[in-house]
Each structure stands twice: as structure tokens, then as C-alpha cells.
Amino acid sequence: MNRPVSKPLITLVTALIVAVTFSAGFLIGKQERIRSVVPAGEGKVIGVGEIPASLNKDVKFSLFWDVWDLIKDEYVDQPVSEKELFYGAMKGLVWSLGDQHSTFFDPVTAAAFAEELSGSFEGIGAEIEVKDDQLQIVAPLPESPAERAGLMAGDAILAIDGLDTAGMASDEAVKHIRGPKDTDVTLTIRRGEDEARDVVITRDTIEIDSVTYQLRDDGIAVITISFFNGDTSRLFTDAARQALTDGASGIILDLRNDPGGYLTAAIDVASAWVGTDTVVIEKIRDQEEKTIGRGPALLNGLATVVLVNGGSASASEIVAGALQDHDQATIVGEQTFGKGSVQDYRDLPDGSAVKLTVARWYTPANRSIDQQGITPDLLVEMTAEDYQAERDPQMDKAVEILNGNY
């Protein structure tokens, strides 16, 4: 989950400052060796400074520059972009951590990522992630081209327009999948043990309406959160107050296919039930911090069912886990995705950015989410046949519980 607005934890800030300093070290003391080979329009290398005293003496930056010069002098396709070499090195630096959730974004990718969190972008409307070394769909967004094409959470993406995705990072895949409205992209998909098949999807403008509200005829309020973005807290609070105004007899909080988003939004949503009790526990190496809700507990005590599935990830799992541990809701559906790590997102001066795992989170009862997910109180599967027939057994079970028929 991404946390663009992070809490002022000294340990996190220090770690990130070190990372930025280390990155700058790639340019140390070599300006005179490369100034003559910068292609026209590329500018010049800047940011030259001192080698950090903390740098391991076994790290020889001369080797980096030897490889740099070798590429610049002898690579077959010249000229080679200094900028692409540099950003590639930054990506490799973060990639070397072996953490699929930590990523360096060049300025173009960083802008696309920020655009997605803002709630509007052009693409197919699906959250993707690498899990078990396989690029896959975390969740298609509601009413998106991805959903209309029949993509489902857990679908493996084997190729993008014929390009093999083996070893491809999720941010690189996003570059290939996104594109202008009304253009097509072909994904080679495998679902479970089925044979691979090509799915042609026409891109569109994706407007993410992060929260929707519906009052059913039986008095049950359904609040659906599709993504935890910048407007989620406000929209959710409006929906919660509307449910109280409507005299709702119960709440169905639908977090299915919600891939996550801002931690702060997850805390605000959970607070509507848990008030100022613990929402999530963050563990940073040997330190532990409990994050409490911000209240007020508008919906505390109101009968609630939370719907989840394999596309419920990150912030969704925090909310579901908090309500489950505090006995504020019955969790219905399928095992969630299992993304229990915290990423700090930092903008860098040139428009690039780093998303870095800085902690792992646990539910208030100290249950790990990472790689495990949240286990529903009632396991109710939704099959491909249910989708095709427009049946929703999970929603039906939630209504049954709240109407006292379970």
C-alpha cells in the first residue's frame, strides 16, 4: 500500500535520506569522464558530491563507472541516453532489495502513478501486482474496460501485446498496459489451470469513484469502496452520515476488488467503527507502533458485514482486519490478497520518485497480513458461473445475516 503522506517517523525519514544520499553517490567524482559523451539535448551530469563516510569500503564505485564507460564507448546502438542509463541504475538499486513492492519511478512513470491516485487516468482500469513471481490482476475496477473484458482477481498476465512478462516488474508492466483512450492492448491471460488465452481490451478514461452509497428497500445501507485515494475519507464520511440519516438497519461495507491505496484513508474508514482504538500495528525492524483511529465512531454498534475477496488488498485488509478483531463486523467472502507491507512514497527533485517498503503491518490482535491475508468469518465463494449469471452469493449472504435469517 502506498503512503504518499507519511507520518513523521524519524526512523523512516532517516532511512530514506540515506537511500537518496547513496543514490547520489553514483555521480561522485566522474563528471570529467563523461561530459564529452552526453548526446545533444541530454544536458549534463549534476549533483556531484562527497562519498558518504558510511559507505562500505568494499564497494568500489570505480566499477560502476567502468561499466558506464564501456556501454558509452562500445555498445552497438549509439548514442546511448545518459538519462536512461542513470534511471536504469536507480531502478536496479531498488530492485536489488528483492522486494517486489519497492520501486523506483522515473519521472514519466511517477506522473502516471500520481495520476492514478488522483482518481482519473487512461488505461484498462485494473490493479496489477507481482505475486509468487507472477504478474497478475489484483482487482479490476468497477465498470472498467478490464471488468467488461471479463478479467478477474488472480488472473495471471503472461504477455502484454506479445511481450513476455516473466521477470517484469509491475511498474514496467503498467507502462505497456496503459495508453490513450480508444486504443487496444492484448493481454495473454491464464486463469487457474485453464489454458492461456488472449484478451483484447480497449483503453478508456478511468474515473475512479472511490465510494458509492445505496440504501436498499429493506433498510440496509451498502457502502462500496473501490479504491482508497485522496477523496475516500470525505466521501466515506458523507456515506456514513447518510446511512444514519436514513435510519439504516445495518451496513454492508463492500471491499471486494479494492486493491488499497492511502493508509490515512483506511484509518479514517476503520475509525467509523473502532473510534480511537487500535486500527493497525506497524512493525519496523525491532520497533512496533500502534496506529489508533481518529474517531468519531459514527457506526459503532450498528450491525455490519464486510465483503472481501482475493482482490481485496492492502488498505482493504487493514480495515477488514481491524473490524474483525474489534468484533465490529462479520467478514464474508474469500481469503484476501495478503499485502501486509507499508510503502513510503517520496517525490524526488527531478520528478522521479521512490516507493520503499518501510514497515510491515499486523491487525490489532497482532495477526500478520503479509502473504496470508484476512480469513473471512464465513467463506462464500463467487464462481465464474456466478459472474456470468450475474449472481452475487456473497452479497446475498450479507443481506441474510443482517436480516436475521442466518
d(CA 312, CA 357): 19
d(CA 367, CA 374): 9
Residue 143 class from Cβ within 10 Å (0-12 exposed, 13-18 middle, 19+ buried)? middle
d(CA 147, CA 150): 5
DSSP letters spanning 145-197: HHHHTT--TT-EEEEETTEE-TT--HHHHHHHH---TT-EEEEEEE-TTSPPE
Q: Which of 204, 268, 277, 325 is catalytic?
A: 325
DSSP letters spanning 226-268: --B-TTHHHHHHHHHHHHHHTT-SEEEEE-TT---B-HHHHHH
Residue 62 is placed in which grid cell?
A: 570505480
The reply to whether 396 belongs to the active site is no
d(CA 242, CA 367): 33
Q: Which of 102, 314, 316, 352 is catalytic?
A: 314
Residue 2 class from Cβ within 10 Å (0-12 exposed, 13-18 middle, 19+ buried)? buried
**Which residues contact residue 169 at a Cβ distance below 8 angstroms, ignoring those fewer than 6 apart?**
91, 95, 100, 103, 130
**Which residues contact residue 69 at a Cβ distance below 8 angstroms, ignoring those fewer than 6 apart?**
33, 34
d(CA 87, CA 356): 16
**Virtual torsion, Cα 246, 209, 173, 82, nearest 10 deg:** -130
The reply to whether 314 belongs to the active site is yes
Q: Which of 72, 339, 355, 397 is catalytic?
A: 339
The reply to whether 325 belongs to the active site is yes
Residue 49 is placed in which grid cell?
A: 558530491
User: Which residue type sits at 344?
Assistant: D
Handedness of CA 392, 394, 399, 405 (dihedral sign): positive
User: Which residue type sits at 77?
Assistant: D
Active site residues: 314, 325, 339
